[in-house]
Amino acid sequence: MDESFEERLAKIKRVMAATLDRTQDYLRSEFGLNVTPQAPRAGDLEALELRGTTAVIGINGMIDLYVAFSFDMALLQRLYEQMTEGMEIGAEEAEEMKNATAGEIMNVVLGHCTLDLQDLDSEIINISPPNVMNLVKTVPRIKGAVFHLRSMATGHGAIDVYLIGPKALFSENLDYLN
């Protein structure tokens, strides 16, 4: 039986609330950052406006969405510096380690979210490994695609949290599949 629009919207709201809560908790507890969720944007989101570094993870099962964290570069730099403090990292490894930082933060947050969302699925909720993209990208919304955005501000920059679905429309790089 197909779920109704209201049921799908309620599920999306639960996923977003869990993601925001877990992201705030993680950034506060692990990095000492004060995080302020921004008000939801009114109206339909017509395009994804991805920042320079974006991590994407797919949530499988009944949720069937991609979650993307798109980082302000200053915020990602701060998170990277804290995660690698005391480590010897060469210049040639720095970009790879920044990508690893974005992916690890997202992996930890969504791993915790699966516990919060377990009652939405009759099976274990699986998530894909993080895919990190280093490009500014705009993805226009086509018919059938669903985009939801909430931003969170810190003293070092913002992070945009996108929910994108259904997964069958997109690759892990958020390109449309034919």
Quote the CA–CA distance of 62 and 99 in Å, as a whole number.
29
CB 140 within 8 A of CB 47: yes
- Identify the helix (H) or strand (E) that includes residue 105: helix 91-117
pLDDT (tens place) for every residue of the chain, 178 residues total = 567 778 778 888 899 999 999 999 999 999 999 999 988 865 568 898 998 899 999 998 888 899 999 999 999 999 999 999 998 988 889 999 999 999 999 999 999 998 888 887 667 788 999 999 998 889 988 888 889 999 999 999 999 999 998 888 998 889 888 7
Domains and their CATH numbers in the chain: 5-40+48-167 (3.40.1550.10)
* CA nearest neighbour of 69 among 1, 127, 126, 123: 127
Confidence at residue 20, expressed as pLDDT on a 0 to 100 scale = 94
**Mutual orientation of helices 73-83 and 91-117 as an angle, nearest 10°?**
90
